[in-house]
Copies of this chain bind each other. A is one copy, B any other.
């Protein structure tokens, strides 16, 4: 039997759950890996905070960085989660002191990962981050180890649980965005600070940045993301979309188009036939398309103490079994600085909601604008609202595939028409 000595920094949901799991499953861990995991140091902001676990039996460190100096420490588990600051300092110090690192810190990796992975590789160390993306879904190892010789064409998925919960709840209970957000906050699903990162799509984009590096060998560059959140999604759009066979989901997708990187997070209409449409509650899901696989689809819990602990444990398992760490699936020197794809050039189909006066000639005027620009309309729905005769009525249009730039030009023109009463809502329709 070998020993794997670990130190844990950060004792929130995940850190506490990790300690609990190691205590509970140690015999099993031993049977599966011929290893014994010893927790030789712990650290958190407050020593006194009430926790489910008994911390007094572990060595406490006020400053987590001190743990990286422990001679017999093999692995630092970073679960503090700051985008930089102490989290960065801890990881850097660990790698410089020849300790492996396991972290769930997506923002840090997406923004400052390149140097750290370089450092880890230079010292032949693991810098493992299964917990950083999609909680309990082992998507990192799936891409890195399980389909490693596949050339990936596209990755797309639902990477943020809170926004998926909000969209699901809006649809199921016919509630507004604001109402559901309040419920999510009341239930402790999300805090104000987290909610902003979630709702505006930043959290999903952090994760997408990491996935796109694993899939395409791009260097880690958060700035390459196009990001659109869900705060403008109206319950009406969810209903109209449902009427024509779609759900609205916050979809993140990454692919290489003409040698440029396309990282896009946005609410999209997803067809009922696509498994992503059926991903409810706070679940996450990811679909991969490769040169060998039409589709490989994974769905599971995207957050929470136990699911994320499963991912941390799988990193510890990998470290216990290996001595050759291919952290990103590519050598860092081979990472490519892709040019960012110009969003105006993307070709997609779209859903539009145009709020207009309820009078004759409106529909033909709008469709003429589309025809003149060579945009082929797939479906038009005019839905008179009898409740208020003077209120604008919605016209719902879905288009066939068109270059975004051409669509934007038409939209600019239509928005200037006198009978158009609001900014037009434009949502891309998910392809696959």
Please state if A149 and B292 are interface contacts (CB–CB under 8 Å): no
Complex: A278 Cα to B307 Cα, angstroms:
24
A32 within 8 A of B: yes
CA distance A158 to B336 in the complex (A): 39
User: Does A31 sit within 8 A of B, measured CB to CB?
Assistant: yes
Known: A293-B301, A293-B307, A330-B31. A138 touches B149 (CB 8 A): no
**Interface pair A295/B290, CB less than 8 Å apart:** no
Contact A313 B32 (CB under 8 A): no
Give the CA-CA distance A317 to B147 in the complex, in Å: 9
Report chain B residues within 8 Å CB of A317: 145, 148-149
Q: Is A142 engaged at the interface, CB distance under 8 Å to the other chain?
A: yes
Place the interface of chain A in its size category.
35 or more
On whether the beta carbons of B142 and A292 are closer than 8 Å, the reply is: no
Judge whether A114 is part of the interface by a CB distance below 8 angstroms.
no
A116: B residues at CB distance < 8 A:
none
In the complex, A309 has a CB within 8 A of chain B? yes
In the bound complex, what is the Cα–Cα distance between A306 and B25 (angstroms)? 38
Looking at A319-327, A340-348, A419-427, the stretch in contact with chain B turns out to be A319-327
- Could you tell me if A142 and B138 are in contact, using CB atoms closer than 8 angstroms? yes
A52 to chain B, nearest CB (A): 15
When distances are taken between beta carbons in the complex, the residues of chain B under 8 Å from A93 are: none
Q: Which residues of B contact A29 (CB under 8 A)?
A: 149
Q: Name the residue on B nearest A325 (C-beta).
A: B321
Q: Does A137 contact B (CB under 8 A)?
A: yes
Find residues 99-114 in chain A having any chain B CB closer than 8 Å to their own CB.
Answer: none
Asked if residues A295 and B299 are in contact (CB atoms below 8 Å), the reply is: yes
Query: Does A296 sit within 8 A of B, measured CB to CB?
Result: yes
In the complex, what's the smallest C-beta–C-beta distance from A104 to chain B, in angstroms?
A: 14
Question: Is B147 a contact of A314 with CB atoms below 8 Å?
Answer: yes
| A 324-340 binary contact with B (CB < 8 Å = 1; else 0) | 10100111001000000
A97 proximity list for chain B (CB < 8 A): none
Chain B neighbourhood of A296, CB < 8 A: 136-138, 298-300
Q: How far is the CB of A294 from chain B (nearest CB, A)?
A: 6
Contact digits for A137-179, partner B, Cβ 8 Å, 1 yes 0 no = 1100110011111110000000000000000000000000000
A321:B326 contact, CB within 8 angstroms: yes
Contact partners of A292 in chain B: CB under 8 A: 21, 136, 306-307, 309-310, 313
Q: Verify A149–B330 contact, CB threshold 8 A.
A: no
A373 sits at the interface (CB 8 A)? no
Q: Is B275's CB under 8 angstroms from A32's CB?
A: no
Q: Does A33 contact B (CB under 8 A)?
A: yes
One digit per residue, 1 when the CB lies within 8 angstroms of any chain B CB and 0 when it does not, for chain A 189-222 equals: 0000000000000000000000000000100000
| A297 on the B face (CB < 8 A) | yes
Query: Which of B34, B307, B324 contacts A321 (CB under 8 A)?
Result: B324
**Does the CB pair A294–B301 fall under 8 Å?**
yes
- B310 A293 Cβ-Cβ under 8 A: yes
B141 touches A145 (CB 8 A): yes
Check A300–B301 contact: CB distance below 8 A. no
A303 at interface, CB cutoff 8 A:
no
Residues of B with C-beta under 8 A to A301: 293-295
Do B148 and A145 have beta carbons less than 8 Å apart? no
Q: Please tell me if A228 contacts chain B, counting CB pairs below 8 Å.
A: no
Chain B positions within 8 Å of A334 at CB level: 31
Instruction: Give the docked Cα–Cα distance between A324 and B317 (Å).
Output: 12
Give the interface centre of A217, A290, A293, A326 by most chain B CB atoms within 10 Å. Answer: A293
A357 interface residue (CB < 8 Å to B): no
Report the Cα distance A378→B165, complex, angstroms.
31
Q: Is A42 interfacial (CB-CB < 8 Å)? A: no
Contact of A314 among B31, B130, B136, B145 (CB under 8 A): B145
Q: Looking across the interface, which residue of chain B has its beta carbon closest to that of A24?
A: B291
Interface residues of A (CB under 8 A from B): 21, 25, 28-29, 31-34, 130, 136-138, 141-142, 145-151, 217, 275, 278, 290-301, 306-307, 309-310, 313-314, 316-318, 321-324, 326, 329-331, 334
